[in-house]
Structure 1
Amino acid sequence: MLDNAQCPDCKRINEVLSRVGDRWSVLVVIYLARYGTMRFNELKRTLGISQRMLSLTLKELERDGLVNRTYHPTIPPKVEYNLTEMGQSFREPVSALGYWALENLNEIDAARQAYDKTVAK
């Protein structure tokens, strides 16, 4: 186990990875990277996420400097989201993670089934 002397920023790294590594944050970044600016309801429909969870995720991504929120005072109000420059820099690692997951879905499913069989005995 690393202590503070060996890794003084490990706690901070954990905080960042907890935010950017959760499934909804990853998916929001992937969709904004792919489609550019999107409205709240577009993201909600596309991701199949609850309004509350999307709202929380977007607020945290905005707080961390990965997403811009633009409010347009129209009737009805229009709110759009896009990636910041730092969010754009996060595209590559998120894409790599997404492609890795896609490439390994079958192996992961097989491993889960094998594990579940041995645990069920």
Structure 2
Amino acid sequence: MTTYCKFEKALDILVGKWKPVILLRLFANGTMRFSELQRAIPDITKKMLTQQLRELEYHDIIHREVYHQIPPKVEYSITAYGHRMTPLLQAMNDWGIGHMAHLEELYGENRAEKLIEGESFID
């Protein structure tokens, strides 16, 4: 196996609809409880949020702190290792903003939104 191209490995960690959203919420808010994350991302199911958090925890991107109390309390935060992703996520966000502006210049605001949402290119 070659060691010079690990782009796919990085994408495996970031790809999907929810991981970037979860990470951006945690970067913006610091430590968050599960219920806070769920309220911050209303379209995600409990099962999907749990799965995505476990995967991010496995990769040491986020830390899961369990407080043994009644009722149980679990908090999530970005690890020191995870903070190394800040420039990458910021660059992706900046590119996304620029890309939306570019599409709006090409197609107009309403058409650009439809293209981003995955609607057909052909009317």
- Which interval holds the TM-score relative to the shorter structure? 0.7 to 0.9
Contact map agreement 1:61 1:67 (CA 8 A) in 2: yes
Determine if the alignment matches structure 1 residue 74 to structure 2 residue 77.
no
Q: In the alignment, what sits opposite 1:46?
A: 40
Deviations 1:65-114 (Å, cap 9, x if unpaired)? 1000000011110000000011111122112212321332251727939x
Q: In the alignment, what sits opposite 2:121?
A: 116
Structure 1 gap segments, 5+ residues each: none
Contact map agreement 1:30 1:91 (CA 8 A) in 2: no
**Secondary structure, aligned partner of 2:76:** strand
Query: C-alpha separation between the residues in 1 aligned to 2:90 and 2:5?
Result: 25
Q: In the alignment, what sits opposite 1:29?
A: 23
Alpha-carbon deviation of 1:21? 2.9
Determine if the alignment matches structure 1 residue 55 to structure 2 residue 50.
yes
Q: In the alignment, what sits opposite 2:11?
A: 17
Contact map agreement 1:67 1:83 (CA 8 A) in 2: yes
Q: Give the one of 88, 93, 105 matched to 2:88.
A: 93
From the two aligned structures, give the one with the greater helix fraction. Answer: 1
Q: What is the RMSD computed on CA atoms of the aligned residues?
A: 2.6
Structure 2 gap segments, 5+ residues each: 105-111
Query: C-alpha separation between the residues in 1 aligned to 2:50 and 2:113?
Result: 35
Contact map agreement 1:32 1:38 (CA 8 A) in 2: yes
Normalising by structure 2, report the TM-score: 0.77
Normalising by structure 1, report the TM-score: 0.78
Deviations 1:22-78 (Å, cap 9, x if unpaired)? 331111111111110000111111012111111011000000010000000111100
* Matched residues, number: 112
Contact map agreement 1:29 1:91 (CA 8 A) in 2: no
